[in-house]
Amino acid sequence: MLAALITDLQYVRYWFSNPWMFVVLAFQLWMLVDAIRRREWMWAFFILFFSLISALFYYFMVYRATPTATRGFELPGAHHRRRIKELQAQIHHLDKAHHHSQLGDVYFQQGKLEQAEACYRAALERDAQDIDTRAHLGQCLLRAKRAAEARPWLEGVVKENPDHDYGYSQMALAETLAALGEKQGALQIWKQVTEKHSYARAKVQLAELYLECGQAGPAAGELKEVIADDAHAPTFQRKRDRFWVRRAKALARKIPS
């Protein structure tokens, strides 16, 4: 017993004599918490039991790979990084508008907004009427905090097809109006979106506008639906919506019961 106590004291003394160990521990805890929040259970297991090396791998392979500019605002559909070389080769040989546009989508998903914008504009030089490219350029400009430039692109698309991209273009237009201070216009569009779709992204932002207007009851209702839906959603949807679910839970805690 005494020997074990002496060993423990030596271990504690070693930690205090090496302050950098606290930095290592803080980094591991940071990555562990992030993995748990993302429900990356396998990564969480390795970080917990295999220490610093696993935390470093997670940081570069998962944490750094997740874009911040477009987190929670993804385009519909899946876009893979391995498509970049393939699309660049197709552009080199064929130079088709849709190849430029698809490459823009990949860059958008990566949060590389300047490259995405260049690709969308190159696509429009070859086909100025393509509705997907016009919509995605608008979304790109919005994420780059250029809402005034995004507005005419998104308004044109929504006027032509209100449910374009399964309502994603309409959501982007609502966010654009909100960014420009036109809260009532944004509120009306969010209501239109939630009448047709159950997107957490739409419900949470509608709830935020309700709260700004002093309507706590309708806001609480929207947030309650988001949290309830998440509990029964498939894994892929929970991963897609986790940004908004966390936001919904944080807002719900601020509303008096």
In terms of pLDDT, which residue wins out, 119 or 18?
119
Least confident among 19-23, 197-201, 252-256: 19-23
- Do 58 and 31 form a contact (C-beta atoms < 8 A)? yes
pLDDT band, residue 81 (cuts 50/70/90)? low
Global pTM value: 0.72
Going from N- to C-terminal start, the domains of the chain cover: 2-63, 76-176, 198-257
Compute the average pLDDT of residues 192-215: 96
Core vs surface per residue 175-191: b (16+ CB within 10 A) or e:
bbbbbeebeeebbebbe
As a whole number, the mean pLDDT across the chain is 84
What string of DSSP letters covers the chain? -HHHHHHHHHHHHHHHH-THHHHHHHHHHHHHHHHHHTT-HHHHHHHHHHHHHHHHHHIIIIITTS-STTTT-PPSS---TTHHHHHHHHHHHT--HHHHHHHHHHHHHHT-HHHHHHHHHHHHHH-TT-HHHHHHHHHHHHHTT-HHHHHHHHHHHHHH-TTGGGGHHHHHHHHHHHHTT-HHHHHHHHHHHHHH---HHHHHHHHHHHHHTT-HHHHHHHHHHHHHHHHTS-HHHHHHHHHHHHHHHHHHHHS--
* Inter-axis angle of helices 200-212 and 216-231, nearest 10: 160
The Cα–Cα gap between 104 and 117 comes to 7
Enter the tokens of residue 46.
Answer: 């390795």
Q: Is the pLDDT of residue 14 over 60?
A: no
Q: Is the pLDDT of residue 37 over 60?
A: yes
pLDDT band, residue 19 (cuts 50/70/90)? low
- Do 244 and 200 form a contact (C-beta atoms < 8 A)? yes
Instruction: Decide if domain 76-176 falls under CATH 1.10.3720.10.
Output: no
Phi, psi of 144 (to 5 degrees): -85, 10
Share of the chain above pLDDT 90, in %: 55
